[in-house]
A and B are shown apart, each in its own frame.
Chain A
């Protein structure tokens, strides 16, 4: 009976086939049901009346204004939060200060506060009933129900993404490489651009993409502060809701499909960059 063990080695580092296929099956079913199916549904519903119907929906002035609004907001909010995120991560990881723990908690605040509450806070702070808001309105600089309010809400909600991605990487890197650059005579700025930034670029890119996705997709805070005025302060997500409530389902799903495609585009961009720089990525990764 010892030859049985010789002819049929028992695989000790892997599960039996049945369990393997079961686990893979469950994972695939989950991905199909919860990720793939909803995405497909959006596109199917958008094209219910053919390409012509969808294109007609995109020609609606309200839809075009919403798309322009969302792209403008993202184009302003993402760079601002990228810079603030890097600055916050830098302050937290490269210097030892007493307020460090407080700062880390503050950065996470937008994650723990409901976006609707965030929108309400801004309305209370800048609305017509507050002193500050009253003064701003009197001086023709309205924040609530206007572009600045939407931008502020988006900035607030998307603030943590870049900082959160970069902080762990910066902690892992430590300060030695920066110190080395300084001893070699590099200025602070040169050190930042030639040593710090290249070391965090992948985390930064990922943070920016997440920030961008959220900036374009944010609903709650923007819905509260924008007042959802069609053609004026409506963004893509709020416009989708309004179309849907009016039973304009082709228009609603077409706009939703455009939003989804923007998100897919950013993911594609990331994969493309990773693929193009695969050799450099492998060379610089720690082993």
Chain B
């Protein structure tokens, strides 16, 4: 599903987190929102998910206006920076949460939920951890469980906030590959936020460079490297 962002702005009190920005995200693309902290990239991601509402502007999902849709109606799979797994639930219950929260009419049976959860556990290559609690998992495992939980609701798009931020370098490389594979297999439009230009350049089809609430440049990694649009982009991507 393609996403259109039209003149989106967000103010917190008197400070502007986002100047009016416009962006069009093609269906099935893997997009990186790249920028330093305070650049507005997380705000933009949270507006896409329906966790924040814009001061002005519109968001279109597949050509339909989604600006007024509640977070539940958006059906966006969201992976939080520190994963936000439910600590008091097992991995199985975490992944099943979204399915069990559905209205009775469209809720799968428990047997069906069990099958779907084990399929997702296979997808993240952790088939045997269903009965564990989040604090019994490594950082990398938690990230993958968070991904499985987000995928369980059959989301219309996948949004990830600094998905590799809390991991050490080696695990980070492995999981980058993992995200790429899951993206290619599901074909979901995927947007992730990062401050790591190497990560963005290596993983994304399209990189959106942001600074101070503005979009500085949008392009394929090679284009951005070859022809940085502004001094900021040149400095930031050279680092």
Give chain A's interface residues, CB within 8 Å of chain B: 176-177, 179-187, 190, 194-195, 198-199, 280, 283-287
Q: Are B84 and A177 in contact (CB under 8 A)?
A: yes
In the complex, whether B213 has a CB less than 8 A from a CB of chain A is no
Q: For A184, give its contact among B50, B88, B135, B153 (CB under 8 Å).
A: B153
CA distance A181 to B77 in the complex (A): 11
Task: Assess whether A199 is in contact with B149, with CB atoms less than 8 Å apart.
Answer: no
Measured CA separation A183–B51 after assembly (Å):
8
B153 to chain A, nearest CB (A): 6
B188 contacts A by Cβ under 8 Å: no
B61 is an interface residue with CB less than 8 A from chain A: no
B191 to chain A, nearest CB (A): 14
Partner of B102, one of A183, A185, A284: A185
Complex contact A181–B97 (CB within 8 A): yes
* Selected interface stretch from B68-76, B170-178, B215-223: B68-76
In the complex, B164 has a CB within 8 A of chain A: no
Whether A179 touches B80, Cβ cut-off 8 Å, given contacts A184-B149, A186-B101, is: yes
User: Among B49, B82, B135, B150, which residue has its beta carbon within 8 angstroms of that of A285?
Assistant: B135
- Which B residues touch A190, using CB under 8 A? 101
Q: How far is the CA of A189 from the CA of B173 in the complex (A)?
A: 39
Considering the chains assembled together, what is the distance between the CA atoms of A190 and B149 in angstroms? Answer: 17
Please give the number of chain B residues whose Cβ is less than 8 angstroms from any Cβ of chain A in the complex: 29
Whether A280 pairs with B88 at a CB distance below 8 angstroms is: yes
Which residues of chain B come closer than 8 Å to A287, judged between CB atoms? 135
A184→B101 contact, CB < 8 A? yes
Q: Which residues of chain B from 136 to 160 have a CB within 8 Å of any chain A CB?
A: 136, 149-150, 152-153
- Given A286-B135, A287-B135, check contact A180 B101 (CB 8 Å): no
9 residue pairs A–B, Cβ–Cβ below 8 Å: A180-B80, A180-B85, A182-B51, A185-B75, A190-B101, A199-B87, A280-B88, A284-B135, A286-B135
Contact B98 A184 (CB under 8 A): yes
Q: Which residue of A lies closest to B46 (CB)?
A: A179
Residues of chain B contacted by A280 (CB below 8 angstroms): 88
- Minimum CB–CB distance for A113 against chain B, Å: 34
Most chain-B Cβ atoms within 10 A of its Cβ — which of A177, A190, A198?
Answer: A177
Whole-angstrom distance between the Cβ of A287 and the nearest chain B Cβ: 6
B48-106 at interface with A (beta carbon < 8 Å): 49-51, 71-72, 74-78, 80-82, 84-88, 97-98, 101-102
Check A182–B135 contact: CB distance below 8 A: no
Which residue from chain B places its CB closest to the CB of A184 in the assembled complex?
B98
| Residues on A with beta carbons closer than 8 Å to the beta carbon of B87 | 177, 199, 284, 286
Query: B236 contacts the other chain (Cβ, under 8 Å)?
Result: no
- Other-chain residue from B51, B76, B101, B135 in contact with A283 (beta carbon distance below 8 A): B135
Question: Are A195 and B135 neighbours in the complex by a CB distance under 8 Å?
Answer: no
Query: How far, in whole Å, are A284 and B85 apart by their CA atoms in the complex?
Result: 11
Question: Across the interface, which residues of A come within 8 angstroms of B133, CB to CB?
Answer: 283-284
Q: Which residues of A contact B71 (CB under 8 A)?
A: 179, 182-183
Known: A183-B78, A283-B136, A284-B88. 8 other contacts (CB 8 A): A176-B82, A177-B84, A179-B71, A180-B78, A180-B80, A180-B85, A182-B71, A182-B72
Q: Are B86 and A177 in contact (CB under 8 A)?
A: yes
Closest-CB distance, A275 to chain B (whole angstroms): 18
Known: A179-B51, A199-B88, A285-B135. A186 touches B82 (CB 8 A): no
A198 to B97, CA, bound (A): 14
In angstroms, Cα B80 to Cα A180, docked, is 8
B158 to chain A minimum Cβ distance, whole angstroms, is 11
Complex contact B72–A187 (CB within 8 A): yes
Q: Complex formed: what's the CA distance from A185 to B86 in Å?
A: 15
Closest to B78 in A: A183
Contact at B72–A186, with CB atoms within 8 Å?
Answer: yes
The complex places the Cα of A179 from the Cα of B102 at a distance, in Å, of: 16
Residues of B within 8 A of A198 (CB): 88
Interchain CA distance A17-B72 in the complex, whole Å: 62
Chain B residues lying within 8 Å of A186, measured Cβ to Cβ, are: 72, 97-98, 101
Select from chain B the residue with minimum beta-carbon distance to A175: B84
Contact A184 B97 (CB under 8 A): yes
Residues of A within 8 A of B135 (CB): 283-287
Most chain A CB atoms below 10 A, which of B82, B84, B133, B153: B84
Chain A residues whose C-beta falls within 8 Å of the C-beta of B153 in the assembled complex: 184-185
